[in-house]
A = this chain, B = another copy of it.
Amino acid sequence: MADLYESDALTPMQAWNGVTVRLLSGERMTMAIAELGPNALVPRHQHDNEQIGTVIQGSARFVTDTESYELHAGGTYRLPGGTPHEVTAGADGAVFVECFSPPRSDWDSLPAAPSDSLRWPTAR
């Protein structure tokens, strides 16, 4: 069965300090709407899940062992499974839409994030 949701249907969870994710998982992947507060840091980490995403608001610097790039709205990234990466939001924070395959089962038990951490979408 298909599932169509309006914007308030997904529960905001806290993935790191200052980093809120709303997750929608299927059989083969997890989509995350990720919001980083101003200058928030996703510390260097890696996971077996392939990760492909795009910045939809704000900006962030992505750093891997081979690349370092400041991405703005419309910028995209593709990280094969097992790629160490670190992300730092710009002064205005950042919002990403990204997908992981296989699903991020390690995120099944994240703590709830405060709802006032959400900025996307701006009009609701």
Contacts and interface: CB of A to CB of B under 8 A. Distances in A.
A75 B7 contact: yes
Nearest to A79: B2
Interface residues of A, number: 49
A99 B29 contact: yes
Interface in A1-23: 1-10
Contact of A29 (B5, B6, B50, B69): B50
Contacts of A53: 31
Contacts of A75: 4-7
Interface string A21-50: 000101111110100000000000000001
Interface of A: 1-10, 24, 26-31, 33, 50, 52-54, 56, 62, 64, 66-67, 69, 71-81, 83, 85, 97, 99, 101-102, 120-121, 123-124
Nearest to A27: B50
Given A4-B77, A28-B102, A54 B33 contact: yes
Contact of A78 (B2, B33, B81, B85): B2
